[in-house]
Structure 1
Amino acid sequence: MSGLSPQWSSAAAAAVALVLCGGGVAYADGPADNTTPPPPSGPSGNTDGKGNIYASATHSQIKVRQVKGPTTGKRGNLTPVDTNWKPPACWYEPVMTPEQLKKFSETDGSGDVGVHETWIGKGLWTDHYRDGKPDKNFDDTWSVAPGYKDYNIGKKGYFWRSVAPDDTDPDSWDCGRIMFWQDGNTVPKVPNAPTAKTLAEYAYDQVKIPNTEIELKPEGKSTVNLPTWIWLDKGTFQEVTVRAELPNTDLWAETTAKPVALHLEPGTDDAETFPASGECTFNDDASIGTPYKTGDADKTPPCGITYLRATNGQPYQLKASVTWQITWEGTGGTGGPLPNGTFETTQDINVQEIQSINR
């Protein structure tokens, strides 16, 4: 980036810099405690009408659509069981052809050249991408980014740029290259280049699974020391698959969520779960537990709860969470597991004492 001191490492930067250059303003933000907003004329995600994002590096062009599973009713996002796991913080994507870059540079000239760097002014763009002036990558070593002649017009390929859905994530600083050229039908061999797994992990957050609504028997109120049967009928939960594709590459991935277990938390220590672990596994027909039948009141349910103390004005909060096993497959026969996810719901449970009649 023109004009910034090399001693200011991108990994440690926490300030905002507005750098006046010969042909415009280079705007760079820090990864942590920024308090100064971008100038009002800064980019806001403009497109060329064809879905190609010119200005904002916080909007991915990855296309995601659900190809299997329910699409109606109450649904929500999964929470990874592994709390340390998260999707990639940043990667690179093809964003402009030579002709698109020429039009953008010479008619607009205000947009993100990387996740944490914005060029405002035609001169910055034309100097580097038209007139061959070198610049600096926004990385720890301030590596040289060679300039280009006439936007590489006549060549087949795309200019690639870094993308970070959340540019406040410190790990988004790992993608410090300013927008660079890549020949067509190829993916750059640089750190944080996208892969099929990148798309699969990006799609993880796009998986929408149905609310966990369990059936209880007896309904309404449970009774102290009598088991409450819990089950989910066959077909209540179905596998959900979403497909992610990165335009202008052959990269694709499908991420699938399969329900594998129901976990119960009674909402009080004065209760017993069946099984004792509180984990009710799915049956072969994709149901959970066994429906309650008349005469089962004194039997032990395969999935259920016995409350040992009555509620007193305040219902217990029964938490039911379904664990979903996540796998993916993608370009070139790639694939594998991703961290399991859960989706939790809470419902009120009132528990009454056993009523006795004296004659």
Structure 2
Amino acid sequence: MVVSATAVTLALGLATAHSANAIGEDDGRNPSEPGDAEGGASGRELYSQVGRSNIVVKQSGGGAAKPATGSLVSVDPNWKPPTCWYEPVATSKQLKAAVEEMEGTEKLLTVNSQRRWSEELLVETYDKGEPTYSAEGTKNYNLGKKGMFWRDVVRQGGEDDIEAADCSRTMFWQVANTVPDDPYAPTPEVLAAYAYNKIRVPDTEVELKPTAKSTVNMPTWVWLDKALFKDVTVRAELPDTPLYAVTTAKPVALHLEPGTTDAKTFPASGDCPVNEDGSIGAPYTKGASKQDPSCGIAYLRATSGKPFQLKASVTWEISWEGTGGAKGDLPDGTFETTQDMNVQEIQSINR
């Protein structure tokens, strides 16, 4: 598949054997978690980690006063982002320099997530042009040609998935302005799914009235302020390709679980929809004590030393758009928090 792009360039970061950096500078990329399988070298040598991607992500929106830190859980238990895909990793000059730095050492360079090669094997394959272990040989690292060497990336947490073995191609040459003709080539949808995993949403701590204690049989009004709860967008770009995707999470509903069967919710389903102005529920107003709230809870018995655990989860609708007008939807995500609810027996309360 051929796509248009600007000239292909990629700066390889310099790393020591003690470094946690992968190829490239940080620039919004996501470092691997401790314990990832890794192979490395020092100086100008390539250094890689199985769970490391060069995809750059940037989030905006959310509206919360505090940084959004909540990770979404897909409502589809069978959905997960792609386990592996291919990315550009080095220019001809960068690979040649990395191999030359290995001369006379026993260090290894990662050519895919399952293999690390010695300097001798790298020279045989990428300098002398001998095809080796599924790798297509190149003469003199293809110096003077426009393009880059690509290799696979395995999603963090996907190292033990059997699908990780599907991206089995050894590091290969790809002509500039193209992406591999391969089922595991990166696409806007792959980037959208990658961005989904990086979405961080505001804590779902709802506003309550009364704020200190609820009273048996008296409704507690629940709402989320529109100013503090807005769409979240995450843009994911793959450097040195024209590929990008913008994944948007839009809050569409609040679900309440009282933490006890001795309670009723408003509405009865516990699902409070988002209002037209973007808020959820409505704040209590003076004189509304005999009305049912549009979103709320009424506890039917008091707590006795141990508060009820009110669970509030927001459903986020996920959509994306990307390179070439591509677009689509991903499974809704949810984020849940728990709040203590103390309930007293008296039948009246100052509001």
Would you call these one fold, judging by a TM-score over 0.5? yes
Does the CA-based 8 Å contact 1:46-1:55 persist in structure 2? no
Does the CA-based 8 Å contact 1:199-1:244 persist in structure 2? yes
Ranges in structure 1 where 5+ consecutive residues have no aligned partner: 1-36, 138-144
Match of 1:5 in 2: none
User: How far 1:206 moved relative to its partner?
Assistant: 1.2
Alignment of 1:128-139 (within 5 A): 128-137=125-134
Does the CA-based 8 Å contact 1:54-1:111 persist in structure 2? yes
Return the letter of the residue paired with 1:56. Q
Return the letter of the residue paired with 1:209. V
Return the letter of the residue paired with 1:110. L
Does the CA-based 8 Å contact 1:98-1:159 persist in structure 2? yes
Match of 1:279 in 2: 271
Does the CA-based 8 Å contact 1:55-1:110 persist in structure 2? no
Return the letter of the residue paired with 2:183. P
Question: Rg larger in 1 or in 2?
Answer: 1
Correspondence for 1:256 among 235, 248, 270: 248
Does the CA-based 8 Å contact 2:55-2:237 persist in structure 1? yes
Counterpart-to-counterpart distance in 2, 1:217 and 1:66: 32
Match of 1:91 in 2: 85
Alignment of 1:295-306 (within 5 A): 295-306=287-298
Deviation per CA, 1:301-329: give whole Å up to 9, x if none: 11001111111111100000111111100
User: How far 1:236 moved relative to its partner?
Assistant: 1.9
Correspondence for 1:247 among 232, 235, 239: 239
User: How far 1:270 moved relative to its partner?
Assistant: 0.9
Counterpart-to-counterpart distance in 2, 1:249 and 1:73: 34
Correspondence for 1:112 among 110, 113, 132: 110
Counterpart-to-counterpart distance in 1, 2:44 and 2:343: 61
Does the CA-based 8 Å contact 2:309-2:339 persist in structure 1? yes
Q: Quickly say closer, same or farther: Cα 1:220–1:45, change in 2 above 3 A.
A: farther
Match of 1:153 in 2: 143
Match of 1:165 in 2: 155
Match of 1:191 in 2: 183
Identical counterparts, % of pairs = 56
User: How far 1:257 moved relative to its partner?
Assistant: 0.7
**2:338 partner SS:** strand
User: How far 1:47 moved relative to its partner?
Assistant: 8.4
Q: Quickly say closer, same or farther: Cα 1:263–1:309, change in 2 above 3 A.
A: same
Deviation per CA, 1:88-130: give whole Å up to 9, x if none: 11000010111111111121362211112112x2101111111
Q: TM-score, normalised to structure 1's length?
A: 0.81
Does the CA-based 8 Å contact 1:326-1:341 persist in structure 2? yes
Ranges in structure 2 where 5+ consecutive residues have no aligned partner: 1-35
**2:208 partner SS:** strand
Q: Quickly say closer, same or farther: Cα 1:65–1:45, change in 2 above 3 A.
A: farther
Match of 1:59 in 2: 52
Does the CA-based 8 Å contact 1:45-1:56 persist in structure 2? no
**1:205 partner SS:** helix
Counterpart-to-counterpart distance in 1, 2:317 and 2:218: 33
Return the letter of the residue paired with 2:293. P
**1:294 partner SS:** coil
Deviation per CA, 1:225-245: give whole Å up to 9, x if none: 111111112212011111111
User: How far 1:48 moved relative to its partner?
Assistant: 5.3
Q: Quickly say closer, same or farther: Cα 1:305–1:72, change in 2 above 3 A.
A: closer
**1:312 partner SS:** coil
Counterpart-to-counterpart distance in 1, 2:333 and 2:64: 19
Counterpart-to-counterpart distance in 2, 1:45 and 1:294: 69
Deviation per CA, 1:265-322: give whole Å up to 9, x if none: 0001111111111100010000111210122222111100111111111110000011
Give the CA RMSD over aligned residues.
Answer: 2.0
User: How far 1:55 moved relative to its partner?
Assistant: 2.8
Q: TM-score, normalised to structure 2's length?
A: 0.83
